[in-house]
């Protein structure tokens, strides 16, 4: 099978790569337009963040153009070897700690020491960064980025009235803004590892309770990626309280947008839904990928989540759950502090404050980027519509099969790219039907050796325990509902456990009606963990192969404290 058009060369010096963490950002085959426009800018932004933090120095990269990130046979990967060097040079941080924070339960090769992994100058600078992190009380730089993006979006031309060149310029200009925003996001991500790591050490070593950190980080509030779930819950309550709306949703999501527009009884709902899309229209599945639909461009995605939420009883109200978790968190915090003395208690207080602050900050920085990407997406969508009007393909997403340097010529004369698009579409579909390896070292195994997504899965029996990483504390039982597409929740309802392959903001509204959540991949810093803690849903992530091995309808027990899923009964 031929290489994907935007494939990179793996680093020789840093040979281990993983889909962990980055698989949440790019779960599918990365399109040529997105990667050629933003891939190298993401690499540079990450290098900027490493330099700010102090862990990795410019000379460490050698001649590698792409050392931190890379696309291989269409799928995006993150360099494990460099993350481990980061850990080695960070005082008080172990390689195993970083592996778990970023990658979850991984079968990555064990860490092998290199002579130049340790670097005193880097470690001294990191030490200074750590002190600043633990003393931080606010993150004004993230508020400035948020305001900057709002200003940038306000200055963009109206897509329908702008020239082709003006729309291409929107994409080009965003590339440089993206580097700066991504630097802030990655730096905040690094900073977000410090507090939780120290809290975990104190809870385990001084308090003898390794499950306590999840309780201490639950219900902290102001997590921007959880906000859509609160808004969607409100919309679901409007539907549940109105017989006409209930009947309309009972008829199915297909065509629901048009039916709502002509129904007088839907006036309040339509107003609230329009406000929701104005605020959260940039969010959706695979939202870093420009070709993917969002709640703004495809409202059926949000309506599908509302359809599931309307069936949940009031006990699932995320505001009630957050209030409960906040009460429990405050009690757990006071209990922990009462058992700590002197310097250790001071360290605990600073570490916990840092953990909460940067957990909120990481989701805020990501939300800011996603809003900006959506501004670029709308310009690209208009270019796709114009190409279609000029004889291009009916499918607008085909625009993203072009590289950035092909964009202008394609929009002007789309017919010249018919053969190119046909070939790239064929190869994309072949790669999309395969499961890329989670980890590789040196050279990625060829796609001919990968597992097909439709291959028969393994089996489990009653009593089987599947182990993962604890997400949100709590224990729940329910029947498994395996969902592979957030647009098709497959009737997920009360009393059921959501089993998902991966999660992003388009998935998390489905957490609300569920009794618990199980995710194939993820780690302590994954979106699923952070949001489940806000919504009060017991969650276990990094349950490898959960969607392929847990039968639909199996009775499960999900232990969000220990990170264990138990198969209680198989479906008849």
Average pLDDT over residues 506-531: 86
Residue 216 within a domain = no
**Segment among 181-190, 377-386, 439-448, 455-464 with least mean pLDDT:** 455-464
- 371 and 299 both lie in a single domain: no
pLDDT of 341 strictly over 80: yes
Average pLDDT over residues 484-500: 89
- 47 and 186 both lie in a single domain: yes
pLDDT of 349 strictly over 90: yes
Question: pLDDT for 469-482, tens place per residue?
Answer: 898 889 999 999 99
Angle between helices 32-53 and 120-135 (to 10 degrees): 90
- 52 and 134 both lie in a single domain: yes
Residue 564 within a domain = yes
- 43 and 190 both lie in a single domain: yes
- 85 and 126 both lie in a single domain: yes
pLDDT of 104 strictly over 70: no
CA angle centred on 239, ends 238 and 245, rounded to 5°: 130
- What's the pLDDT at 476? 96
Out of 292, 311, 330, a domain closes at 311
The dihedrals phi and psi of 556, each to the nearest 5 degrees, come to -120, 155
Handedness of CA 100, 101, 106, 109 (dihedral sign): negative
pLDDT of 106 strictly over 70: no
- 374 and 516 both lie in a single domain: no
pTM exceeding 0.85: yes
CA dist 365 and 357 (Å) reads 12
Neighbours of 516 (CB within 10 A): 28
CA dist 511 and 539 (Å) reads 9
pLDDT of 505 strictly over 70: yes
- What's the pLDDT at 459? 77
The dihedrals phi and psi of 139, each to the nearest 5 degrees, come to -130, 70
Out of 376, 401, 427, a domain closes at 427
Is residue 218 within 8 Å of 533, Cβ to Cβ? Answer: yes
CA dist 123 and 61 (Å) reads 17
pLDDT of 540 strictly over 90: yes
- 415 and 469 both lie in a single domain: no
Residue 75 within a domain = yes
- 110 and 248 both lie in a single domain: no
CA dist 486 and 483 (Å) reads 7
Question: pLDDT for 21-50, tens place per residue?
Answer: 888 889 899 999 999 999 999 999 999 999
Number of H helices, E strands in the chain: 19, 14
Residues 6+ apart with CB under 8 A from 292: 284, 285, 286
Residue 476 within a domain = yes
**Token duo for residue 248:** 């309309």
Domain that holds residue 39: 16-206+340-427
Out of 402, 427, 452, a domain closes at 427
- 202 and 243 both lie in a single domain: no
- 71 and 194 both lie in a single domain: yes
- What's the pLDDT at 531? 86
- What's the pLDDT at 94? 84
Residue 9 within a domain = no
pLDDT band of 105, cuts 50, 70, 90: low
pLDDT band of 56, cuts 50, 70, 90: very high
Question: pLDDT for 383-417, tens place per residue?
Answer: 999 999 999 999 999 999 999 999 999 999 999 99
Average pLDDT over residues 370-391: 98
Question: pLDDT for 127-136, tens place per residue?
Answer: 999 999 999 9
- 38 and 134 both lie in a single domain: yes
Beta bridge mates, 470: 540
CA dist 57 and 16 (Å) reads 19
Residue 321 within a domain = no
Which is it for strands 496-500 and 451-452: parallel, antiparallel or unpaired?
unpaired
Domain count, the chain: 3
- 74 and 147 both lie in a single domain: yes
Residue 437 within a domain = no
Question: Any idea which residue has 């009380």 for tokens?
Answer: 137
**Segment among 203-207, 270-274, 454-458 with least mean pLDDT:** 454-458
Residue 442 within a domain = no
Kindly report the CATH number assigned to the domain that includes residue 560.
3.50.30.10
Report the SS3 class of residue 296. Answer: coil
């Amino acid at each position: 099978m031929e290489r994907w058009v935007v494939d990179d060369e793996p680093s020789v010096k840093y040979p281990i790569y993983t889909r962990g963490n980055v698989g949440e950002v790019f779960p599918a085959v990365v399109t040529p337009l997105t990667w050629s426009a933003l891939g190298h800018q993401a690499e540079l932004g990450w290098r900027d963040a490493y330099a700010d933090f102090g862990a990795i120095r410019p000379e460490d990269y050698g001649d590698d153009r792409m050392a931190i990130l890379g696309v291989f046979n269409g799928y995006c990967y993150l360099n494990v070897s460099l993350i481990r060097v980061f850990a080695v040079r960070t005082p008080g941080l172990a390689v195993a700690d970083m592996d778990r924070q970023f990658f979850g339960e991984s079968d990555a090769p064990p860490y092998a020491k290199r002579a130049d992994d340790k670097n005193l100058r880097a470690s001294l600078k990191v030490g200074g960064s750590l002190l600043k992190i633990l003393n931080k009380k606010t993150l004004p730089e993230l508020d400035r980025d948020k305001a900057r993006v709002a200003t940038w979006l306000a200055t963009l031309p109206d897509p329908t009235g702008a020239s082709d060149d003006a729309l291409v310029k929107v994409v080009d200009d965003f590339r440089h803004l993206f580097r700066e925003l991504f630097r802030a996001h990655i730096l905040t991500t690094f900073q977000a590892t410090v507090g939780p790591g120290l809290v975990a050490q104190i809870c385990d070593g001084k308090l003898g309770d390794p499950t306590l950190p999840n309780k201490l980080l639950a219900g902290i509030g102001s997590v921007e990626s959880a906000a859509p779930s609160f808004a969607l819950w409100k919309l679901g309550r409007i539907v549940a309280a109105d017989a006409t709306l209930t009947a309309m949703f009972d008829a199915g999501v297909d065509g629901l947008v048009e039916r709502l527009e002509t129904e007088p009884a839907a006036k309040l709902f339509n107003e609230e839904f329009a406000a929701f899309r104005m605020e959260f229209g940039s969010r959706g599945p695979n939202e870093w990928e420009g070709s993917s639909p969002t709640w703004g461009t495809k409202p059926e995605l949000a309506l599908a989540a509302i359809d599931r939420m309307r069936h949940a009883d009031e006990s699932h109200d995320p505001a009630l759950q957050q209030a409960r978790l906040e009460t429990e968190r405050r009690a757990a915090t006071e209990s922990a502090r009462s058992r700590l003395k002197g310097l250790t208690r001071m360290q605990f207080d600073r570490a916990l404050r840092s953990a909460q602050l940067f957990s909120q900050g990481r989701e805020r920085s990501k939300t800011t980027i996603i809003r900006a990407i959506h501004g670029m997406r709308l310009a690209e969508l208009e270019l796709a519509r114009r190409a279609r009007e000029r004889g291009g393909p009916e499918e607008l997403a085909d625009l993203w099969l072009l590289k950035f340097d092909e964009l202008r010529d394609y929009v002007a004369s789309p017919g010249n790219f018919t053969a190119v698009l046909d070939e790239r579409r064929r190869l994309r579909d072949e790669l999309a039907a395969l499961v890329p390896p989670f980890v590789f070292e040196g050279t990625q195994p060829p796609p001919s050796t990968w597992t097909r997504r439709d291959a028969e899965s393994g089996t489990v029996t009653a009593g089987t325990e599947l182990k993962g990483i604890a997400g949100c504390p709590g224990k729940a039982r329910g029947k498994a509902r395996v969902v592979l597409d957030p647009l098709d929740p497959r009737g997920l309802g009360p009393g059921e456990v959501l089993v998902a392959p991966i999660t992003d903001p388009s998935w998390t509204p489905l957490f609300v009606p569920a009794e618990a959540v199980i995710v194939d991949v993820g780690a302590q810093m994954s979106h699923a963990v952070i949001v489940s803690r806000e919504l009060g849903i017991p969650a276990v992530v990094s349950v490898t192969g959960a969607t392929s091995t847990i039968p639909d309808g199996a009775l499960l027990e999900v232990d969000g404290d220990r990170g264990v899923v138990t198969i209680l009964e198989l479906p008849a």
